Amino acid sequence: MKTVDIFKKKTVFSLEIFPPRADMGEKVIYDTLDKLSDISPDFISVTYGRNSGENGCRTVRIAADVKEKYGIESIAHLPCISFSKEQITGILDSLKDNGIENVLALRGDISDDTVPTGDFRHADELISFIRENYDFNIIAACYPETHPESQSAAHDIRFLKNKVDCGADHLITQLFLDNSHFYSFREKIAIAGIDVPIEAGIMPVTNKRQIERMVKLCGVDLPPKFVHILEKYGDNETALRDAGIAYAVNQITDLIAQGVDGIHLYTMNNPYVAHRIYEAVQNLI
């Protein structure tokens, strides 16, 4: 099923997982999926990163298994910056052959060791390529607090509109910790004429190092009430985990009350945390 169709029926609740490190073996992700599948999310998305294997074979396989073995719709993430058209065609063919219908089309982060091929400079070029050559439902990323490389929020929204015009059917946001950023972004993109479903990306913060890394990487604002939590519970793993879950539940409750199209939970492959959050919000969805 194309994810865009699920929004027509309900408030979507979806999960994100990532392929585990190669040295951990694949069993670990299937143990995680065994536990996450109890939640019956509307779909599970599988990221594409350094543990995705050659030409994304692990991302493709896990996304195919989510659908085939667990009976849950899946999305495969696909960052394009380091790939040639030929390689992207190979990966898209393999997604299609594995019955995957949904692709999150991304540029990918640019780090010191990224070697851009020049075939796809931005996500919009990948989106157009997919739209012209395949029948996938296309998802794109968006940034309530503006993408860190962007010149301004207005520029970022203009490029987002372009991604939608090129064929993105549904958007998922970067994580945010202050819902007011999401509400103001939602208003601005509506004014810009973007009318596809937009899912709010929620990351339950359960350890201090993780949030410090995320804030640095994504340029996410830390609201004072969140800073107080870090200060008070930062050195107590269990207390921080519980406070992080409570914080995420609060965010989600407010978002659903204010009519969000969907919640995309960055599970960090932690089924315990995902379950606790789901149990707290399942009657709201």
Residue from the set 82, 150, 207, 270 that interacts with ligand FAD by CB under 6 A? 150
Q: Cβ distance 123 to 77 under 8 Å?
A: no
Residue carrying the six token digits 């973007």: 194
What sign for the dihedral angle of Cα 15, 245, 272, 235?
positive
Q: Which is nearer to ligand FAD, 110 or 227 (CB)?
A: 110
Query: Per rule CB under 6 A, is residue 156 in the interface with ligand FAD?
Result: yes
Structure tokens at 108: 């990918």
Query: Per rule CB under 6 A, is residue 48 in the interface with ligand FAD?
Result: yes
Question: CB count, 10 Å around CB of 147?
Answer: 18
Q: Which is nearer to ligand FAD, 172 or 273 (CB)?
A: 172
Q: Which is nearer to ligand FAD, 18 or 247 (CB)?
A: 18
Residue from the set 20, 56, 79, 262 that interacts with ligand FAD by CB under 6 A? 79
Smallest gap from Cβ 247 to ligand FAD, in A, equals 19
Query: Per rule CB under 6 A, is residue 147 in the interface with ligand FAD?
Result: yes
Backbone angles phi, psi at 147, to 5 degrees: -65, 135
Using the contact rule CB under 6 A, the part of the chain among 1-9, 88-96, 99-107, 242-250 near ligand FAD is 99-107
Query: Per rule CB under 6 A, is residue 149 in the interface with ligand FAD?
Result: yes
Smallest gap from Cβ 155 to ligand FAD, in A, equals 6
Angle at 83 between CA 146 and CA 201, to 5 degrees: 30
DSSP secondary structure of 55-111 = GGHHHHHHHHHHHHTT--EEEEEEE-TT--HHHHHHHHHHHHHTT--EEEEE-----
What DSSP designation does 117 have? -
How far is the CA of 155 from the CAs of 143, 162, 168, 197, in angstroms? Answer: 12, 11, 18, 21
Structure tokens at 224: 């004072």
Residue from the set 2, 85, 96, 122 that interacts with ligand FAD by CB under 6 A? 122
Using the contact rule CB under 6 A, the part of the chain among 67-75, 144-152, 176-184, 226-234 near ligand FAD is 144-152
Query: Per rule CB under 6 A, is residue 241 in the interface with ligand FAD?
Result: no
73: annotated active-site residue: no
Amino acid residing at 256:
I
Interface positions, 187-216, toward ligand FAD (CB under 6 A): 201
Query: Per rule CB under 6 A, is residue 47 in the interface with ligand FAD?
Result: yes
Residues that bind ligand FAD (CB under 6 A): 47-49, 77, 79, 104, 106-109, 122-124, 141, 147, 149-150, 155-156, 159, 163, 172, 174, 201
**Hey, which residues are catalytic here?**
16
